[in-house]
Amino acid sequence: AYKRFSELLPREERESAFSARVPKSHILTLPELRANPFQERICHVFSTSETGDDSMSFEDFLDMLSVFSDSATSDIKSHYAFRIFDFDDDGTLDRKDLEQLVNCLTGQGEESRLSSAEMEQLIQNILEESDIDKDGTINLSEFQHVVSRSPDFARCGGLQR
């Protein structure tokens, strides 16, 4: 992990990789993230940057790798998936978050974009299935409840296509 992290830094900074921060643009070159539709959100969620540039320290990088590893528990994976899908960082998945989630999964092209009616129906279905307290949003425990009924989520990490 340290070798992979340090290779994302310019040569002159590699000796001090433990104290360096890798820019988000370099993190996004990782093959595992390059094709991931949630790549921007992944960097945002795992970054501890105080400047908001989504750069990563070595510890941030290790956290990201451990969540995506096969040994991470379903609870840990679902917790981070929830944070990644919570596009506005308000602690719930509301209609706007769900619409962004669907758009990430279906692609942004005209041919793959859902119509307004299809999107509304899909969001309604998701909320009917997941919104246990019927408040119009999905909280972390509701999300984890749905995930616990999906054996594929734990196996594939929930975030990989």
* The pLDDT of residue 85: 98
Rounded to whole angstroms, how far apart are CA atoms 20 and 135? Answer: 43
Instruction: Enter the tokens of residue 15.
Output: 């000796």
Rounded to whole angstroms, how far apart are CA atoms 28 and 102? Answer: 21
* pLDDT of 97 higher than 70: yes
Give the number of other CB atoms < 10 A from CB of residue 76: 13
Rounded to whole angstroms, how far apart are CA atoms 87 and 75? Answer: 20
In single-letter form, the type of residue at position 150 comes to S
Measured in residues, the chain has a length of 161
Residue whose C-alpha is closest to residue 54's, from 69, 68, 64, 66: 64
* The pLDDT of residue 161: 39
* The pLDDT of residue 113: 82
Rounded to whole angstroms, how far apart are CA atoms 152 and 158? Answer: 8
- Domains, the chain, ranges and CATH? 1-68 (1.10.238.10), 74-157 (1.10.238.10)
Q: State the burial class of residue 1 (Cβ atoms within 10 Å of its Cβ: 0-12, 13-18, 19+).
A: exposed
Mean pLDDT on 19-26: 96
Note the pLDDT tens digit of each residue in 120-156: 999 999 999 999 999 999 999 999 999 988 877 755 5
